[in-house]
Amino acid sequence: MLKRPYARAYIVLYYLVIVIFCITFFIEGQSVLREILSWTLPVLWIAVLIIRLKYLRCPYCRKLTVEPQWSESGTQECINCGKVFEYDK
């Protein structure tokens, strides 16, 4: 059973990392904001990786074949072992 909150946290953090990366790319020079964002980025990236590697794996074969789902939209099948995933909500 996969946990929906982890899938949602993963999606939010993933896009946050992309947005922050783009913002730091466009901020010119050395500013406090850029300093803060460049420290936040690796922390968020590590959080994304931890969620992905720890909580979003196939419950049967433990491979990283799970596509994070925000809401219920059909069932997913593991491309490795062929079993169907279930989310808790």
Chain residues binding Zn ion by CB under 5 A are: 58, 60-61, 78, 80-81
Beta bridge partners of 2: 87
Residue 82 DSSP code: -
Tell me the CA end-to-end span of the chain in Å, nearest whole number.
Answer: 10
Which residue's CB is nearer to Zn ion, number 6 or number 17? 6
CB 76 → Zn ion: shortest distance, Å? 10
Residue 27 structure tokens? 């901020």
CB 17 → Zn ion: shortest distance, Å? 26
Cα separation, 17 vs 81, whole angstroms: 31
Which residue's CB is nearer to Zn ion, number 62 or number 89? 62
CB 2 → Zn ion: shortest distance, Å? 11
